[in-house]
A and B are shown apart, each in its own frame.
Chain A
Amino acid sequence: MKLVKSELSQAMTINAQSMPADWRDFFALTKPRVMSLVIFTGLCGLLAAPGHIHPVIGFTAILCIALGAGGAAALNQWWEADLDAGMKRTAARPLPAGRMQRTDARDFGITLSFASVIVMGLAVGWLAATILAISIVYYAVIYTIWLKPRTPQNIVIGGGAGAFPPMIGWVAVTGDITLMPVLLFAIIFMWTPPHFWALALFVKTDYAKVGIPMLPVVAGEKVTRQQILVYSFLLAPIAMAPFLWGGMGIIYFAAALGLTAVFIALAIPVGLRTAALDDAMKPEKRLFAYSIIYLFALFGALVVDRVAYTQGWL
């Protein structure tokens, strides 16, 4: 017998109420794949910063960044459980699949968020803890609750949430905010729109179904493609800025130049073309996949450059 959606939802709720959630579901709430990028960029900020940090304190800083990101992700899923249920990409998450009660996800998210900020403050420093707290509120409240359902520019401003980790890593070492951590923030801030809109172009039917005003849904494909191109070109000077004004060396310069050139080369066909009906969206998928490699490689180059400089290899 085919269950209608409300019956299915009710059945899931009953299941969630009678069965305690598995520990793996709590782990899934933290969005481990997104967290890996957060940990990586946070670690790069920490390793590229001038100065010394004890390995135990450095490890604690990265752990707190990861826990904070996990807490914010859990709160995001608690708030968006109904929307997630309506999208193919997210329907299998613990809450929409009925494997967990909503209040459990909320409490888990709040606990992780508070614990990460307090441990960061006590063990590492209160400036890093303050930026971590701002990043959690930025993602869980400003992006998830306020911007995402209201404006097609949600990704542009909300992208700031993902841009905090390298800044926090840097501040954990130096204890103050200078130009370089702001530039690292700006790189991820400019990178997020083309990265996410490339994804939104080939999953747009899902966002449209649950009424999220993603740019392709509200303004159409053509405007989205133009915006991808604009932000890709804006990314270029920002990516070069750590070499021009931030004191990074020739390794970073060469990596940033090459990587950003490829980024723009992949963004141009996405920006200029018009997708046919039943289009496989290969250029968009290619740009999305490359954008992830781009960020890993660019921040990796930042660390290699710093290590080469401090070891006297250059």
Chain B
Amino acid sequence: MTPEEETEIRRRQKGRNIALGLVLAFFVVLFYAITIVRMGD
């Protein structure tokens, strides 16, 4: 594997990790909000 390929793999992995982290954080907030709303029903 060339250094360029290695760099590209790391770049993609980093991008995927950030995207997944943001999605998970979003769902934590969403489920918290849903729970609060449902508890008020």
Contact = CB atoms under 8 A, between A and B. Distances in A.
Contacts of A63: 30
A54 B13 CA distance: 38
A24 B12 CA distance: 10
A19 interface: yes
Contact of A22 (B1, B15, B20): B15
A57 B12 contact: no
Interface residues of B, number: 16
Contacts of A56: 30, 33-34, 37
A60 B26 CA distance: 12
Interface residues of A, number: 15
Interface string B1-41: 10001001100110110111000000000100110011000
B34 A19 contact: no
A123 interface: yes
A23 B20 CA distance: 9
Interface in A94-143: 122-123
Given A18-B5, A19-B9, A20-B9, A57 B34 contact: yes
A21 B37 contact: no
Main secondary structure of the interface of A (DSSP, over half): helix
Nearest to A24: B15
Given A18-B5, A19-B9, A60-B30, A54 B37 contact: yes
Interface string A163-201: 000000000000000000000000000000000000000
Contacts of B33: 56
B34 A22 contact: no
Nearest to B22: A23
A56 B5 CA distance: 43
Nearest to A63: B30
A219 B13 CA distance: 48
Contacts of A24: 15
Contacts of B12: 19-23
A57 B16 contact: no
Given A18-B5, A19-B8, A23-B19, A123 B34 contact: yes
A56 B37 CA distance: 8
B15 A23 contact: yes
A23 B16 contact: yes
Contacts of A18: 1, 5
A60 to B, nearest CB: 6
Interface in A26-44: 26
20 contacts: A18-B5, A19-B5, A19-B9, A19-B12, A20-B12, A20-B13, A20-B16, A21-B16, A22-B12, A23-B12, A23-B16, A23-B19, A23-B20, A24-B15, A54-B37, A56-B33, A56-B34, A56-B37, A63-B30, A122-B34
Interface of A: 18-24, 26, 54, 56-57, 60, 63, 122-123
Given A20-B12, A123-B38, 5 more contacts: A19-B5, A19-B9, A20-B13, A23-B19, A122-B34
Nearest 8 Cβ contacts at the A-B interface: A23-B19, A123-B34, A56-B33, A56-B37, A23-B16, A20-B12, A54-B37, A23-B15
